Structure 1
């Protein structure tokens, strides 16, 4: 990669997004590191990426904003283009859990709206902005197989948890968003894929570690381990590397076999 391809990874100041950013940095990509509130964490991710980068031409810029807010989404894209002059791939990873877990009988519209705005509306319309840029710049991707659009959903896209219904609905909607963009963009040479992580070791799950440790030991995941940010990073790296050339709108499960039906 003489001129590194540029990837915007939302929510890359921590968790799965940081794992993706670090893996891409180690593979020679330039990365726009996005954060919502914690700029210091984003700076730490950027520094880690610089240490991993194998070529001096790579760049790592920090862009901030709430993907659930239209003006912030536009600024995220504008600042990415200002920093790099180009964009080759968007990884829609940013997401939040409901700040109060409640049975759907008692859950509030306020928290529902918060989760949907960040987890579904945000990536849907940030993708629209990226796609508009790509359609105005056809054939200019630095990736050998063209521009890439990746949605990071969750096992919650098809696994019901009644104490966080808004999260499940947001991820199910995101899965359909991936299919919609895949259908629209396939003929344009823009590949769209969905990554569906399972039980992942991040700060989002740290509060329920003991619960899931037991479930894992009891075999809820056939591979009997937590997933890691690196697992997701490797999948993104494979997509950007063109290793799924005849795939369109597919779901790639990163869940150790959780999705398999078993007797």
Structure 2
């Protein structure tokens, strides 16, 4: 169910106001870091997660840093509520300048690709690819219909485990993220002439809740030189990258991928 405080403004851009960003999966580690970075960059925020309670503490924290924040509960896979959700996002502040596709799920059980089940595969594709494709579509359509006083941005978070690295026990997760990565090129090509720039951010080994169960394995990989930087990535580093893109600091580069992976994609010899 979509629940939001709305301030109906006739769908017109509130000119001269602070820019507004929507962050999906806001209750998670990367989502929280991204929200903080955007607030520090001067954005007001709409945060969404499956329930409104999860981002509540984050909302209070961000508002102490002079950001105005709305929280909207929405399950991204709910097709029936997508348009209503999108309307609520735009009505929150009368504008939307940046969509951050950050929400995602991992596999139900790590293991051999020969053992991947339909439930885990369908879940990864539904959340990581399908839901984000159609949310991007809904938001882009609304952006095109709404007046703008600046270029807008769509930033999508994927993973380093797409091209240069293969997650041997994360097949369905990596496959869904690879499809998402490819979709960004299509959005970039279509939306550039609409004043909307699209970017991909690929994190490497990040210290988040998603990597807690594999911390020992990844510690060993880092120690062996698998990551040239020689350390874990911090969520705040992804947050700063997203904020830079949201502010338009990488102009004339739509469709580009920004690797926040400590060089993990390199094959060093």
1:162-181 matched pairs, under 5 angstroms: 162-181=168-187
Shift of 1:242: 1.6
> Does residue 14 of the first structure (1) align with residue 3 of the second (2)?
no
1:201-220 matched pairs, under 5 angstroms: 201-220=207-226
> Does residue 47 of the first structure (1) align with residue 56 of the second (2)?
no
Q: Hey, what's the Cα distance between the residues in 2 that align with 1:81 and 1:60?
A: 13
Aligned match of 2:228: 222
Residue deviations 1:181-239 (CA, integer Å, cap 9, x gap):
00111122210110000000000001111111121122111111111111111011111
Q: Hey, what's the Cα distance between the residues in 2 that align with 1:213 and 1:2?
A: 47
Q: Hey, what's the Cα distance between the residues in 2 that align with 1:13 and 1:253?
A: 23
Picking from 129, 154, 157, the partner of 1:152 is 157
SS of match in other structure, 2:201: strand
Aligned match of 2:127: 118
Aligned residues: CA RMSD: 1.5
Aligned match of 2:143: 134
SS of match in other structure, 1:20: helix
Which structure 2 segments of 5+ residues have no match?
Answer: 1-14
Q: Is the 8 A contact 2:155 2:246 kept in 1?
A: no
Aligned match of 1:87: 96
Aligned match of 2:18: 4
SS of match in other structure, 1:91: strand
Residue deviations 1:107-151 (CA, integer Å, cap 9, x gap):
11121111101000111110000110111124x14xx4x010111
Residue deviations 1:161-191 (CA, integer Å, cap 9, x gap):
2322110101100110110100111122210
Aligned match of 1:30: 44
Q: Hey, what's the Cα distance between the residues in 2 that align with 1:20 and 1:12?
A: 8
Which structure 1 segments of 5+ residues have no match?
Answer: none
Q: Is the 8 A contact 1:88 1:148 kept in 2?
A: yes
- Give the TM-score, by structure 1 length: 0.92
Aligned match of 1:237: 243
Provide the aligned length of Structure 1 versus Structure 2.
254
Q: Hey, what's the Cα distance between the residues in 2 that align with 1:154 and 1:136?
A: 31
Picking from 205, 225, 245, the partner of 1:199 is 205
Shift of 1:2: 5.4
- Give the TM-score, by structure 2 length: 0.90
